[in-house]
């Protein structure tokens, strides 16, 4: 059993790591301690589980370090009184997966310090984080980059992320607030496009069943290229939006098109601003994890407008508002299937 002073010091280091506030010297200390014994590794994982079980996904959006720390201490005390198995089952699985990511990062940092960086990347599988249909997810990458994943999206990156590269694979839509590191540029690659960046804020959407891939730059500067034709590079300035047609391979850059409305989905908003009806259907399907059948092709000629908040308005509320325009009607085929006519 560790002395209280040592235990408190380790808890402080873990909290700083999870809050992206741990400096490199202290990170090295923590990683060496974690790898010193199996008991230490288990303690580290248990503390991460306690941390994440004390903060829900909405609280992360308005993260308060002091509040999180107190919640952590409260959970630690509760955990000491609970049966180990019971406590483990009480933690949400999505946080267990994220805790494993952080543990892997710590272990890799330790190994790379003692054995060099050249052999690390091939020794570990990719980490995959997914936001299922009907949900969205916020996470912090090991380098401090903040990522939001929209419904039906996922990212993958090496467990060596942050050592020799900062490369992320994206399927779907993600919003990125990139931690600046000029020595190690950040890049996001989808099936069709690659975005290269040093430290900016941008939104990248490339769902497999969409006709276009879209990159919207809010701050900073990025370069991007067609994955199949890497020799041609495009540069975006703040508020530029690049639209890549997957069928023709054409790239169009619209200035002043990237606004905060572009990333309103990160706060749970659904904004209908006259986009093609087919796009509205896809957004509703992803946001509410349903299948929508358009039985009346004339609906594709209509445009709809409105702002909705997912936390407060159900899919039925939205459909009722759209029906009130007199342009469409709907019926529920079953709990997961809706027919528009």
User: For residue 15, what are the CA distances in angstroms to 28, 29, 51, 152?
Assistant: 15, 14, 8, 30
56 contact partners, CB below 8 Å, separation of at least 6: none
> Which letter, b or e, does each residue of 55-70 get, where b requires 16 or more Cβ atoms within 10 Å of its Cβ?
beeeeeeeeeeeebbe
**Distance separating alpha carbons of residues 253 and 179, to the nearest angstrom:** 25
pLDDT computed for residue 105 by the predictor? 46
CATH class in words for 120-260:
mainly beta
Give the other-Cβ count within 10 Å of 279's Cβ: 13
Contact 13, 52 (CB under 8 A): no
User: pTM of the prediction?
Assistant: 0.65
Residue 47 tokens read as 């503390």
Residues 128-134 have a mean pLDDT of 88
The rounded mean pLDDT for the chain is 79
Question: How close are the terminal C-alpha atoms of the chain, in Å?
Answer: 67
Q: Comparing 37-41, 153-157, 277-281, 334-338, which segment has the lowest mean pLDDT?
A: 37-41
What value, to the nearest 5°, has the Cα angle with vertex 206 and ends 300 and 217? Answer: 105
Domain residue spans in the chain? 1-116, 120-260, 268-340
What size, in residues, is the chain? 341
pLDDT computed for residue 231 by the predictor? 77
User: For residue 285, what are the CA distances in angstroms to 183, 217, 282?
Assistant: 41, 26, 5
Rounded percentage of the chain residues whose pLDDT exceeds 90: 48
Using pLDDT thresholds of 50, 70 and 90, give the confidence band for residue 4.
low
DSSP letter, residue 279: H
Residue 42 tokens read as 């288990």
Residue 125 tokens read as 């599988």
**Distance separating alpha carbons of residues 150 and 172, to the nearest angstrom:** 7
Q: Comparing 24-38, 59-73, 126-140, which segment has the lowest mean pLDDT?
A: 59-73
127 contact partners, CB below 8 Å, separation of at least 6: 101, 104, 156, 157, 158, 159, 161
Q: Comparing 33-42, 172-181, 197-206, which segment has the lowest mean pLDDT?
A: 33-42
Long-range interactions of 112-117: CB distance < 8 A, separation 24+: 112/160, 112/163, 113/28, 113/31, 117/160, 117/163, 117/164
Cα dihedral 191, 195, 201, 203, rounded to 10, equals -30
**268-340: CATH, from 3.50.50.60, 3.40.50.620, 3.55.50.30, 3.10.105.10:** 3.55.50.30
Q: Averaging pLDDT over each range in 20-24, 49-53, 112-116, 279-283, which range is the top one? A: 279-283
Residues 215-223 have a mean pLDDT of 95
Rounded percentage of the chain residues whose pLDDT exceeds 70: 74
Using pLDDT thresholds of 50, 70 and 90, give the confidence band for residue 7.
confident
């Amino acid at each position: 059993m560790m002395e209280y002073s040592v235990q408190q010091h380790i808890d402080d280091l873990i909290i700083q790591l999870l809050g992206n506030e741990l400096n490199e010297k202290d990170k090295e200390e923590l990683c060496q301690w974690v790898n010193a014994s199996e008991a230490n590794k288990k303690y580290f994982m248990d503390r991460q589980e306690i941390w994440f079980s004390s903060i829900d996904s909405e609280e992360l959006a308005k993260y308060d370090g002091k509040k999180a720390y107190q919640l952590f201490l409260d959970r630690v005390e509760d955990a000491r009184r609970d049966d180990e198995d019971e406590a483990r089952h009480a933690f949400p699985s999505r946080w267990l997966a994220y805790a494993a990511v952080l543990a892997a990062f710590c272990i890799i940092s330790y190994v790379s310090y003692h054995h060099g960086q050249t052999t690390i990347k091939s020794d570990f599988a990719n980490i995959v984080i997914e936001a299922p249909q009907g949900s969205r997810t916020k996470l912090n990458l090991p380098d401090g980059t903040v990522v939001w994943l929209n419904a039906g999206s996922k990212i993958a990156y090496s467990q060596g992320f942050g050592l020799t590269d900062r490369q992320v694979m994206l399927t779907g839509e993600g919003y990125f607030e990139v931690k600046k590191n000029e020595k190690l540029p950040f890049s996001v690659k989808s099936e069709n496009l690659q975005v290269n960046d040093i430290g900016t804020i941008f939104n990248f959407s490339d769902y497999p069943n969409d006709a276009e891939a879209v990159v919207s730059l809010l701050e900073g500067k990025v370069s991007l290229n067609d994955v199949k034709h890497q020799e041609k590079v495009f540069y975006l300035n703040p508020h530029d939006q690049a639209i890549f047609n997957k069928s023709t391979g054409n790239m169009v850059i619209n200035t002043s098109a990237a606004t905060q409305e572009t990333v309103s989905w990160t706060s749970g908003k659904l904004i209908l601003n006259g986009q093609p009806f087919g796009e509205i259907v896809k957004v509703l399907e992803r946001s509410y994890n349903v299948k929508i059948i358009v039985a009346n092709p004339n609906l594709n000629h209509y445009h709809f407008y409105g702002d909705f908040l997912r936390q407060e308005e159900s899919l039925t509320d939205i459909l009722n508002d759209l029906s009130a325009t007199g342009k469409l009607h709907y019926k529920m085929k079953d709990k997961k299937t809706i027919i528009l006519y």
